[in-house]
């Protein structure tokens, strides 16, 4: 009897251990370095739930985002498009309310948002930092925008070319919003799509560049890799708070991580490259070459093509690794300048960032 009791206690102990392990959750961090004076926050400003045309209950979005290393999310269910209204009441603020507890417990910043959904053209628009999403449920489109701006919303144009380039042209509504200073950003990447023309408009009209998942289905991905990750926006904020995120968005301090590319203005791409790539002093100098380690602190497989006369014709620095590189040198004791183009750091459509890697000389 004592032996049975002992085995029973052991069984309960193991059962408790299994439960504890099952209760533990693991987060896979997305590692992009901070920039001088700013914290790099990984953000997704375009997601859907069952309260419009999505397939998940709102708190699931916080769990998915936390698991994948995202810091800031916005649920932007459609205002006008409510395909589940026969099963769920139309309550535009309810997704946000249901998400607040789950987001807070996971230290994820949650933005109240909504998607203004009209036929394309003029298209769809996301309003962030709303106080009351239900106030946008109005028939007149310009009145919807007015009510969003009245609440202090940050407004961006979603997936401009999602129904093709002709329907995704810059039109009268975009011009009206732009002239009123009501249009603040543009989604240059959405899920698996990159909109080159929208990228050009962002530069031409000084609109903040954003990239998002626009996710509708459950996200089964457990972690992001350089080749397989959620499309997202890197925001350079002064701190991890909602006011700081909003300030950074309005100032245009963003990059878009899309597939194996970083896309944005040079003023933010260049410091991100400089913070990501570290060339260590040569550990070996021989008659006509030096051997160096080059560290890549980012999540991007950085692809370099030589534009100068020194160094390998092509270099790929895999994400989160250190590469050993042999560099030919006439005088291995002197500094060496390597001129390259970072082909997957886009500063404009079809235009990549030019960079210089410096190999230190012998002291």
Q: What are the structural domain ranges in the chain?
A: 26-259, 271-359
* pLDDT on residue 24: 80
- How far is residue 257 from each of residues 171, 225, 231, 297, 327, measured CA to CA in Å? 27, 11, 6, 15, 30
Helix (H) or strand (E) holding 138: none
* pLDDT on residue 223: 83
* pLDDT on residue 16: 46
Token pair listed for 183: 């249009």
Could you state, in chain order, the average pLDDT of each consecutive group of 10 residues for the chain (363 residues)?
45 44 79 97 98 97 96 98 94 98 97 98 98 98 98 98 95 98 98 98 98 97 90 98 98 98 98 98 96 98 96 97 96 95 98 97 86
125 Rama class: left (phi>0) / alpha (psi -120 to 50) / beta: beta
Topology of the domain comprising 271-359? Immunoglobulin-like (2.60.40)
Q: Which CATH class is domain 26-259?
A: alpha beta
* pLDDT on residue 7: 43
The answer to whether the 26-259 and 271-359 domains have the same CATH topology is no
Of the candidates 183, 207, 177, which has an alpha carbon nearest to the alpha carbon of residue 195?
Answer: 207
Per DSSP, the three-state class of 331 is coil
* pLDDT on residue 23: 66
| CA 186/CA 146 separation, integer angstroms | 18
């Amino acid at each position: 009897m004592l032996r049975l009791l002992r085995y029973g206690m052991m069984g309960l102990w193991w059962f408790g251990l299994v439960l504890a392990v099952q209760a533990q959750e693991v987060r896979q961090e997305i590692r992009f370095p901070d920039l001088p004076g700013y914290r790099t926050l990984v953000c997704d400003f375009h997601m859907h739930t069952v309260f419009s045309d999505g397939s998940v209950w709102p708190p699931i979005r916080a769990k998915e985002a936390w698991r994948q290393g995202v810091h800031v999310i916005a649920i932007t269910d459609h205002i006008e498009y409510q395909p589940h209204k026969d099963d769920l009441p139309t309550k535009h603020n309810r997704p946000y309310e249901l998400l607040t507890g789950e987001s807070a417990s996971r230290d994820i910043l949650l933005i109240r948002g909504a998607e203004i959904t009209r036929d394309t053209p003029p298209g769809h628009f996301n309003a962030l930092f709303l106080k009351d999403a239900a106030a946008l449920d109005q028939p007149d489109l310009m009145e919807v925008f007015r009510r969003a701006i009245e609440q202090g919303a940050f407004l961006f144009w979603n997936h401009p070319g999602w129904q093709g380039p002709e329907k995704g042209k810059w039109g009268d509504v975009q011009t009206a919003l732009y002239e009123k200073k009501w249009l603040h950003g543009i989604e240059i990447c959405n899920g698996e799509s990159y909109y080159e023309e929208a990228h050009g408009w962002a530069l031409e009209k000084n609109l903040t560049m954003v990239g998002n998942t626009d996710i509708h289905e459950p996200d089964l991905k457990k972690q992001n890799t350089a080749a397989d990750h959620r499309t997202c926006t890197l925001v350079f904020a002064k701190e991890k708070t909602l006011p700081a995120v909003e300030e950074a968005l309005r100032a245009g301090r963003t990059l878009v991580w899309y597939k194996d590319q970083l896309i944005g203005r040079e003023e933010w791409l260049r410091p991100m490259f400089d913070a990501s790539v570290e060339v260590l002093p040569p550990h070996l100098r021989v008659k006509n070459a030096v051997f160096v380690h080059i560290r890549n602190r980012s999540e991007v497989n950085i692809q370099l093509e030589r534009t100068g006369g020194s160094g390998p014709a092509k270099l790929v620095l895999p994400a989160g690794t250190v590469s050993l590189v042999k560099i030919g040198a006439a005088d291995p004791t002197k500094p060496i300048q390597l001129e390259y183009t970072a082909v997957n750091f886009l500063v404009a459509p079809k235009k990549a960032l030019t960079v210089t890697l410096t190999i230190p000389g012998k002291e």
